[in-house]
Amino acid sequence: MPVRVTVWGENVHEHTNEIVGKLYPDGMHACIAAGLNEDPEIQAGSCVLQDPEHGLTAERLAQTDVLIWWGHCAHGEVADEIVDRVQERVLQGMGLLVLHSGHYAKIFKRLMGTTCSLTWREAGEMERLWVTNPGHPIVQGIDKYIELPHTEMYGEPFAVPNPDEVIFISNFAGGEVFRSGLVYRRGNGKIFYFRPGHETYPIYYDANIKRVLKNAVKWAQPEGSSWIDDCPEIPVEKAPNKIVSQGEGLHKPGEGGFK
């Protein structure tokens, strides 16, 4: 079975900025999905902010192995109930790839628990993304570094929790550095933050960037059983070892007590 991917796009700049509209006439989300679909082991579709429920219905998320998120100027327009829904699926095991300015997305800030702030500059300067662990699945097929001739600069400090691992470190022509590829686990879900992707540059057409995204999708796909969604009660008679109840407890049988 192919890895089922949903690419979520804000879909605003494509209609308000002439440069972005020419670079991505079908939308950045469609370009990213098309690049993923070059791999027969991946089946990618897309949805956008303007769709009903932002395209992220419970049914669609239940059929998504990995969700890719690109947003920039409309983070506040994402409904909180949709953020709740996505967070639940990540904890259950759905993978999440957060791209570029998605560092400020509600879902990423929720999962990180921090401001996710950084420094930045838009000057079209050169960036090199250095591979920090050549053995990691996400960087297979990538050389020592990826060079992007023109991009937006993101610089440290990046206000996120210490990641499980740093996959890329970038340096820019202006001298700044940035942790451009970070991996996390939340519940059963795997998360990859990947910095490149400013909308006024053809970054998602780059062969190396497409390779990283394909690798990351396969790395982030669910594995194992789902995370426990609530706090189920285990009655005395169903305990693994035989026990005798030592008096009346706070909660009545079947009552629960954590909601």
Query: 37 near 43, Cβ under 8 Å?
Result: yes
The band of 169, judged by pLDDT with boundaries at 50, 70 and 90, is very high
- 11 belongs to a structural domain: yes
Query: 44 near 83, Cβ under 8 Å?
Result: no
- 75 belongs to a structural domain: yes
Q: How many domains does the chain have?
A: 1
Question: According to the model, what pLDDT value does residue 226 have?
Answer: 61
* Extended strands (E) in the chain: 3-9, 42-48, 66-70, 95-99, 119-131, 145-155, 165-172, 177-186, 189-194
C-alpha distance from residue 184 to each of 21, 94, 179 (Å): 33, 13, 13
- 195 belongs to a structural domain: yes
Q: What is the mean pLDDT of residues 155-161?
A: 98
Tokens of 58: 């419970």
Confidence check: pLDDT of 67 > 90: yes
- 141 belongs to a structural domain: no
Question: According to the model, what pLDDT value does residue 156 have?
Answer: 98
What CA–CA distance (Å, rounded) separates 91 from 114? 18
| CATH number for position 25 | 3.40.50.880
Confidence check: pLDDT of 59 > 70: yes
Tokens of 42: 């991946």
- 41 belongs to a structural domain: yes
Tokens of 175: 């001298």
Q: Which residue has the higher pLDDT, 104 or 251?
A: 104
Question: According to the model, what pLDDT value does residue 71 have?
Answer: 96
- 56 belongs to a structural domain: yes
Sequence-ordered list of residues with C-beta below 8 angstroms from that of 129, at least 6 positions apart, any chain:
145, 146, 147, 148, 168, 169, 170, 180, 181, 195, 196
Tokens of 254: 């079947």
- HEC secondary structure over 87-139: HHHHHHCCEEEEEHHHHHCHHHHHHHCCCCCCEEEEEEEEEEEEECCCCCHHH
- The residue range of the domain holding 101 is 3-114+179-220
- 91 belongs to a structural domain: yes
The band of 37, judged by pLDDT with boundaries at 50, 70 and 90, is very high
